[in-house]
Each structure stands twice: as C-alpha cells, then as structure tokens.
Chains A and B, each alone.
Chain A
Amino acid sequence: MGSINGKDIHKVVVACDAGMGSSVMLASQLRKQLKKFSVTVEHTPVNSIPGDADVVITHNGLAARARAAAPDKVVVPFQVFLGDPAVTAVVKAIESGGEVSG
C-alpha cells in the first residue's frame, strides 16, 4: 500500500493466480511499452510476488490476495486485460514521472 514515483519504479510484477495466462499476456505488452526504460517486468503467481517488486499489477478479482501477499507493495488493480486505464497510468508515470498509488 502507499504510493511510489514513476522514477523509482524498477521492477513491475504482473500477478495472476497461476502466472501462466493473463499475466503473461499483459507482461509481454508492458515489456514492449517499457523497452526504453530500465524497468524489469515479470509475471508471477499472486502468492509468489518477489520481494524486490516496486509495483504489482493484478486483476481486480485478485487484488485482495495480492495485497495480503505483498502488504508493503503498491498494488494496481485492472479490469480489462488490454488497454486498461490503470495500467496505462503506470506506464505514463514511468515515462514521465508522477505518482502511482495503490
């Protein structure tokens, strides 16, 4: 919980239940969008979010589990898999600075 400035984001984790489907697809898109920046994008199951994650992006339905699993992280929930405004806001914050809160 809390917030983080886009400039301080070095690792974005996309979490879903099994880490084999939706998170993989979204992470591939984010990797492409963030290619120019020194930001690592990983996809993981929601209960194995790595300790060095700065921001956790996860489906609305899994946000509570993500917050429980990673209480000190900024958790950004999304509703639609591709083109969700919440995810776009994270990309924008990384590109040009700005706060991401969760």
Chain B
Amino acid sequence: MAELTGDLLDRRAIRLAEEAADRDEAIRRCGEALVDTGAVHPGYVETMLARERSVSTYVGEGVAIPHGTLAGKDLVHRDALAVLRFPAGVDWGGQPVTVCVAIAARGDGHVELLASLAEILLDADRARALREATEPEDVLALLVPAPEDSNR
C-alpha cells in the first residue's frame, strides 16, 4: 500500500499554498501538477476544463475533484492524484473551494484514496483538517487509509 501511494500521490503533486483567480486557473494549476509528475499528457488539462464546464466536480465541504473527460482518458499515462490547496479560496460556480483533489485515471488504482476522501467529506472535523492542512504529511495522513483503517 505504501508504494502504491508513492506512485499514486506523488509528493511533488501535493501543493498546499496555491493561488488562482478563478476556477479555470485553479484547474490549470491542478493539471500542471499532473503533467509535472508525468501522470498525464499536457492535452489532458483541456479535457479537465471541458468536463468542469459540462458538470461541476464540486463534491462538498469546500472540495472539488477536477478530472478529464472520457476522451481525455487516452492522455493519461498512469493513475495519479494531485492535491492542491488554495488558502484564499476559489469561486467554483458559486461554491467556495479550498482543496482540489485532481484525478487522472485509466484504471482503478485510485479508488481507495477516493473512498477515503468520501469518508473525510462526511466527517466535518476531518474535512476541516483537510482544508486547513499546510504540510504534505497531514494530507497523506488524512487520505491514505491506515491498515484496517481504525486508528482514529
């Protein structure tokens, strides 16, 4: 599991002091993190913007999960996530977003981390901890399920 996460959520893709003037810029920042870590072809970023224009990826608690369209799947090199935090917030079609968990996936390698994100969003305290995280370790501790996920 540890090595799986190393590949899936590259430390260089955890960027917690980002700034963006609007949603499109935030998505481009997310796309850059995925491009920089070799997870996607640069063309994937446009499909992330396209997806957001058709259906918002806002999932609640100040969190959005931008990702590409079905057509963009071919531009994904490997399953990967990026976590970007915008401390000043970004207007996401009327909802304030602080954290983006950007997704690139061809397969199901990321399913467990998204399942644990869903759990976090259903727990107001942990959701706040995610929004306020300033260290990559804090993000990893929240998102990476502990073995048998019961140390909390």
**Chain A, 27-71, contact with B by CB distance < 8 Å: what is the 0/1 string?**
011001000000000000101000000000001011000000000
Q: What is the size, in residues, of chain B's interface with A at 8 Å between Cβ atoms?
A: 26
Known contacts A25-B65, A28-B111, A81-B59; is-contact A61 B54 (Cβ 8 Å): yes
CA distance A21 to B111 in the complex (A): 9
**Chain B, 18-57, contact with A by CB distance < 8 Å: what is the 0/1 string?**
0000000000000000000000000000000001001101
- The majority secondary structure among interface residues of chain A is mixed
Which residues of A are found within 8 Å of B59, using beta-carbon distances? Answer: 22, 25, 81-82
- Which range contains the number of A residues in contact with the other chain? 20 to 34
- The majority secondary structure among interface residues of chain B is mixed
Which residues of A are found within 8 Å of B73, using beta-carbon distances? Answer: 18, 20
B13 within 8 A of A: no
Interface pair B118/A20, CB less than 8 Å apart: no
Which residues of A are found within 8 Å of B122, using beta-carbon distances? Answer: 29, 82-83
